[in-house]
Amino acid sequence: MARFHDLTVTDIHKTIRDAVVVTLKPDTPDDFDFTPGQYLTFKHDFEGEELRRNYSICAGKDDGILQIGIKRVDGGTFSTWANTDLQVGDTLQAMPPQGRFHTPNEAGTGKNYLGFAGGSGITPVLSILKTVLKREMDSSFTLVYANRGVNSIMFREELEDLKNTYMGRFNVIHVLESDTQEADLFTGRVDAEKCKTLFAKWIDIASVDTAYICGPKPMMLTISAALKDHGLSKEQIKFELFGAEQQGRAKSKAEVVANARAVGAEASIIIDGTARSVTIAKGQTLLEAALAHDLDAPFACRAGVCSTCKCKVLEGEVDMRANHALEDYEVEQGYVLSCQSVPVSATVVVEYE
Ligand code: FES
């Protein structure tokens, strides 16, 4: 099972006023051999309270460094600390890279990639596009990058440099919500209408092999629907959901159903091959029960987004309130997100692998 490792901060620089790019040197480099598009789960203690946050790797596979981007969010304890207090020489603790927001790089296939990023959603997309441009000499990448204004464009200079280096293979379209640009098309939100116009005038959607989307959920759903409307299949669309939007949302139908069916249960939770018996209260999730019994179960977002808390149900039945992370085939194999799963049978046996 994934464990936390120490990483030393070797560089910090601002990419915009409220976002830092942090370079990290892992004590155990082999554990951090990442795939572009993956993220790291960090933990840090804030006055006795441990917080965990996921940040995507923004470095390309061939950059020779491990780098993440952290944008400060309003009221965000971890991101504010990283932007104001984190220093070169500090030690951070993170789990090895996770996430499946990627497709294999295949040289010689001449693919056309399309990326949509909103705000700090650029971080994994940047890692992917840098790797594609470097490793797939005959592939091209078009990026549509949505931001509030020019001042909030993360990695603006780096993207310009990439455009110059890979002229003809990399194109970036900035869509700004509040700053007016020459063409109306590039001003406003990336909604269904904007996608339609982009696909009619700027992007040959029929030639796109794979599309990557990373940003806030409403934007992602809109773009994903627009891509499907214009002929892309589900398999051609990869997306990465950012977790913050989960907070304060109304209860979903699945959540209401799960809560209604929930029962108290006697559970056996297996971690690293060792089984522990725990009692799970009615409505308590597997993860909550594991942590309440001081078990070292993995987790990060607690919102059904990241899949860090994935475990397998070996016996009994649980209901998942939300799942924004597991693929259908994983659910069919019995995997669940423990932060979202409540027992609906009197006994359950689950294993963290
Ligand atoms: Fe992220 Fe459960 S902790 S999905």
Q: Which atom of ligand 1 is nearest to the CA of 340?
A: 2
Q: Mean pLDDT in the chain? A: 91
d(CA 69, CA 55) in angstroms, rounded, equals: 7
Q: What is the mean pLDDT of residues 161-172?
A: 96
Q: Which residue, among 195, 46, 57, has the nearest Cα to 125 in the 3D structure?
A: 57
Model confidence pLDDT, tens digit, residues 15-66: 999 999 999 999 999 999 999 999 999 999 998 989 999 999 999 999 999 9
Classify domain 5-94 at the CATH topology level: Elongation Factor Tu (Ef-tu); domain 3 (2.40.30)
| E strand intervals along the chain | 5-16, 19-26, 39-46, 49-56, 66-71, 91-94, 112-118, 140-147, 170-176, 210-215, 237-241, 265-271, 274-280, 310-315, 318-320, 335-337, 341-343, 347-352
Taking the centre of ligand 1 as the mean of its atom positions, its distance from the CA of residue 286, in whole angstroms, is 11
Pocket of ligand 1 contains residue 67 by CB under 6 Å: no
Sheet holding 237-241, edge to edge: 170-176, 140-147, 112-118, 210-215, 237-241
36's tokens:
């572009």
pTM for this predicted structure: 0.86
Q: Are the C-beta atoms of residues 111 and 83 closer than 8 Å to each other?
A: no
Question: Where are the alpha helices (H) located in 216-284, listed in sequence order?
Answer: 217-229, 253-261
Q: Which atom of ligand 1 is nearest to the CA of 299?
A: 3
Per-residue pLDDT at 257 exceeds 60:
yes
Ligand 1 mean position, distance from CA 49 (Å): 18
Long-range pairs for 55-58 at CB < 8 Å and ≥24 separation?
A: 55/123, 56/99, 56/123, 56/124, 56/127, 56/214, 56/240, 57/97, 57/123, 57/124, 57/127, 58/21, 58/122, 58/123, 58/124, 58/126, 58/127, 58/155
Residue 304 beta carbon below 6 angstroms from any ligand 1 atom: yes
Architecture of domain 253-352: Roll (3.10)
Question: Is the CB of residue 298 below 6 angstroms from any atom belonging to ligand 1?
Answer: no
Ligand 1: distance of its center to the CA of 345 in Å?
A: 22
Atom of ligand 1 nearest to the CA of 306: 1
Could you tell me if the CB of 325 is within 6 A of ligand 1? Answer: yes
pLDDT at 250: 46
Please work out whether the CB of residue 308 comes within 6 Å of at least one atom of ligand 1.
yes
Q: What percent of the chain has pLDDT over 90?
A: 76
* 305 within ligand 1 shell (Cβ under 6 A): yes
Mean pLDDT, rounded, for 239-245: 65
Mutate to test the pocket of ligand 1, among 42, 54, 299 (most ligand atoms within 8 A of CB): 299
Handedness of CA 242, 234, 342, 339 (dihedral sign): negative
Decide whether any atom of ligand 1 lies within 6 Å of the 311 Cβ: no
- Best of 54, 285, 301, 341 to mutate for ligand 1, by most ligand atoms within 8 A of CB? 301
Q: How far does the centroid of ligand 1 lie from the alpha carbon of residue 262, in Å?
A: 19
Q: How far is the CA of 59 from the centre of ligand 1 (A)?
A: 24
126 backbone dihedrals φ, ψ, rounded to 5°:
-65, -45
In angstroms, the CA 91 to CA 86 distance is: 9
Q: Express each pLDDT in 112-140 by its tens digit.
A: 999 999 999 999 999 999 999 999 999 99
Closest-lying ligand 1 atom to the alpha carbon of residue 298:
3
Query: Which residue has the CA at smallest separation from atom 4 of ligand 1?
Result: 304
CATH 3.40.50.80 for the 112-242 domain, yes or no: yes
User: How far does residue 201's CA lie from ligand 1's centre (Å)?
Assistant: 39
Give 108: exposed, middle or buried? Use CB within 10 Å, 0-12, 13-18, 19+.
exposed
* Residue to substitute in 240, 246, 302, 352 for testing ligand 1 pocket (most ligand atoms within 8 angstroms of CB): 302
Gap between the Cα atoms of 141 and 203, Å rounded: 11
Going by C-alpha positions, the residue among 19, 194, 210 that lies closest to residue 119 is 19
CA distance 285 to 295: 14
Segments making up each domain of the chain, as ranges? 5-94, 112-242, 253-352
Rounded mean pLDDT, 288-315: 92
How many Å lie between the centroid of ligand 1 and the Cα of residue 185?
37
Euclidean distance between CA atoms 62 and 133, whole angstroms: 11
Per residue in 268-284, pLDDT tens? Answer: 999 999 999 999 999 99
Q: Judging by DSSP bridges, how do beta strands 237-241 and 210-215 pair with one another?
A: parallel
pLDDT of residue 245: 43
Compute CA 36 distance to the chain's CA centroid, rounded to the nearest angstrom.
12
Q: In the chain, what is the straight-line distance between the N-terminal and C-terminal CA atoms, in Å? A: 6
- pLDDT given at position 246: 40
- The pLDDT of residue 242 is 64
The reported pLDDT for the residue numbered 254 is 65
User: How close is the Cα of 192 to the center of ligand 1, in Å?
Assistant: 30
Q: For residue 247, is pLDDT > 80?
A: no
Q: What is the pLDDT of residues 100-110, one digit of tens each?
A: 899 998 888 89
Helix (H) or strand (E) holding 160: helix 156-165
Burial of 165 (0-12, 13-18, 19+ CB in 10 A): exposed
Closest ligand 1 atom, residue 287 Cα: 2
For the chain, give the percent of residues with pLDDT over 70.
94
